[in-house]
Amino acid sequence: MEIISTLVLGLIAGALAKLIYPGTQGGGIFATILLGIVGAFVGGQIAKFLPFLTSVPFASLVTAVIGALILIFLWGLIFRRA
Q: What is the pLDDT of residues 50-81, one digit of tens each?
A: 777 666 677 778 888 888 888 888 877 887 76
| Per-residue b or e along 62-78, where b marks 16 or more CB atoms closer than 10 Å to that residue's CB | bbbbbbbbbbbeebeee
In the chain, the number of structural domains is: 1
pTM for the whole thing?
0.73
Residue numbers of the domain that contains 19: 2-78
pLDDT band at 9 (very low <50, low <70, confident <90, very high): confident
Q: C-alpha 46: how far from its chain's center?
A: 12
- Comparing 25 with 75, which gets the higher pLDDT? 75
Cβ count near 61 (within 10 Å): 16
Higher pLDDT, 54 or 82: 54
| Contacts of residue 25, Cβ cutoff 8 Å, sequence gap at least 6 | 18, 72, 75, 76
Residue 64 in contact with residue 10, Cβ under 8 Å?
yes
